[in-house]
Structure 1
């Protein structure tokens, strides 16, 4: 196994491993966020807030009429099996015609509204919102919807402890155990809240079931951490639900070590009270890997260019004076080479070598592990020395 990356490379050259780990300062790089919230014509008019802001309101807001209106929207969007679809502004106002159309489309698995999921924050985000409105004095219907959503998460879990991206199962990579975009960790964190009494209105049976589901999830996490040359590293973004082997998703999401999703996994493990030896080993191994694969002396630069479709390009610049820590989204297992992959599925080792649409349409480099290494992990280690 290579020692890791010092990151002394430019965007226009292939990337290769250097000698030994390098530590860095906090990054100031903030990637362009792609907003996936769409109303799809379902709303009569926009609400006073967007769904993405629904969990960012002051506590007293959740006792008001606007919070109840949005909670009632969630009851409409909730699939009969208990979960929610993704990428919708569920705060947008719904007239009666829109509500009836949603119910019809929920019955069709070929329609997005008929495909409940844990991808992109779906289901566990709606559950947290309903819990806040109910706790603020909302009606019993919100508690019932919350419990139905918990039952959905429990039913969707594989016997081995993992979660598919979609349930009921959808053919293709959607049935893989999915860490990508925080899917499985999002479900586990919500269930851990249930198991530890965050929601006192949940009955004991569901609390016990949530506790068991979390325990199985932790076992799955430990079983899927990738080991290279006898050394624990990180996790792939998705796994085969039968073999637990790392696997691919979309054409540009290949078998790899994830510099993004693995941060959420480590943070989840560090949130376990009184960690076992196995959990401690997993955290230490992943943190060591993050330290070794940091990219130094580089900046991701948004270069304005009106001639391009989006008006800009993204390039990686060599900037020893101002560079701050970056991690790649994907690393090649065994070499720790950062991987950049276009829709052709071919691995390349420089961002500039993939097509423009993928280069600017996906987060290939970011400061994902900075807070973990500088703040969260040191505090965890001090607490569990």
Structure 2
């Protein structure tokens, strides 16, 4: 589902030039103007606020608008800073997967905030349309599907995978706050965002898996009706998630005034992570005798803890699954293509346990 591409583009700096056009030289003897390189992913949002007032940032915003669908969402796995050269594939658009829609909305908000005035009318209209799409996509129970309008199959599941729903909730919390760069959002939409985040929190608490009544973690996707752990792709089974659950816990820890239910959810997940840590191994990338990229697990007493991406719902043990959807008990048991192309082990829970959790305990006034 998630392949974190770093997508690069050249934005023409001359006024009025389309984003994909070559920059003309100033004269016969003048060298060509060097185009700036803009990276299209969530990192672009961390640029200095002053940059969003620049001609370069405004040109990128104009290009972002060209990718918005008639429904209001944006596509995934495309650099929205490069002008489209053909029709945008319908199968890729109207999604929250792989930072789609949330990053375009956050980017437009920064450009709108940095460029007040009539020139931002088109950006504002696109932002409002995109936010309306995001709010309409939410299920009444609080979850978000991967795509909207719904298209069937695992795309309709409540999607925690790759932090998709967490990114939506973080965006909506910023919108509802009314603080920069979202101060321009009208009161009605801010209130709808507030209600949506409340429903989102509710479904997070309801989908947390209980084992003999004890709170544990979450699956990467949950059924949109029953809220039970659900299949995603053929190699992503219903399971305890050692990966996506980290983002959910961090979101819960970010809430300013956690309720007893939120505190219990965090404590239950932390206890599960502690119990499921795997020590004494590391995952090694290598090239096999045929020149193919591969991965293997090797013993290493000095290695930091790891967690499996999937833990079996019945046994609680790590499970590895390739495209044939057969559960294996080791990484070596699945095909090379999946071993090398997908992360079956993660280390993100380590920072959660060592740094984030103690800081959260101190913040809410509890002993570490």
TM range (shorter): 0.7 to 0.9
Instruction: Give the equivalent residue in structure 1 for 2:328.
Output: 348
Q: Which residue of 1 aligns with 2:282?
A: 299
Residue equivalent to 2:359: 379
Of the structure 1 ranges 84-93 and 116-125, higher mean CA displacement relative to structure 2 is found in: 84-93
Structure 1 position 116 matched with structure 2 position 71: no
Instruction: Determine helix, strand or coil for the equivalent of 1:50.
Output: strand
Partner of 1:226: 209
Match of 1:22 in 2: none
| Alignment counterpart, residue 80 of structure 1, candidates 70, 74, 99 | 70
Consecutive unaligned residues in structure 1, runs of 5 or more: 1-32
Q: Deviations over 1:230-249 (max 9, x none)?
A: 21100001111111111101
8 Å CA contact 2:235–2:325 kept in 1: the answer is yes
The Cα RMSD (Å) is 1.9
Alignment partner of 1:51 is 2:40:
yes
**Separation in 2 of the partners of 1:208 and 1:51?**
30
Bigger relative contact order, structure 1 or 2 (CA pairs below 8 A, ≥6 apart):
1
TM-score (norm 1): 0.83
Pair 1:279-2:262 in alignment: yes
**2:125 counterpart SS class:** helix
Q: Which runs of 4 or more aligned residues in structure 1 lie more than 6 Å from their structure 2 counterparts after TM superposition?
A: none
- The alpha-carbon deviation at position 213 of structure 1 amounts to 0.4
Q: Distance in 2 between matches of 1:170 and 1:316?
A: 38
Give the equivalent residue in structure 2 for 1:90. 80
Unaligned runs of 5+ residues in structure 2 are 10-18, 23-34
Deviation at 1:306, TM superposition (A): 5.8
**What are the within-5 Å matches in structure 2 for residues 181-192 of structure 1?**
181-192=162-173
TM-score, with structure 2 as normaliser? 0.87
- TM-superposition CA deviations, 1:262-309 (whole Å, max 9, x none): 000011111112111111100000010011101101111112336233
Contact 1:50/1:90, CA 8 A, preserved across alignment: no
Shift of 1:47: 6.2
Equivalent residue for 2:238, pick from 255, 266, 274: 255
Report SS of the residue matched to 1:299.
Answer: strand
Instruction: Please state how far the C-alpha of 1:331 moved relative to its aligned partner.
Output: 0.7
2:306 to 326, 331, 350: 326
How far apart are residue 142 of structure 1 and its match? Answer: 1.7
Alpha-carbon separation, structure 2, partners of 1:56 and 1:122:
17
In the superposition, relative to structure 1, how do residues 79 and 93 fare at CA in structure 2: closer, same or farther (>3 Å)? closer
Q: Cα gap change, 1:324/1:301 in structure 2, threshold over 3 Å: closer, same or farther?
A: same
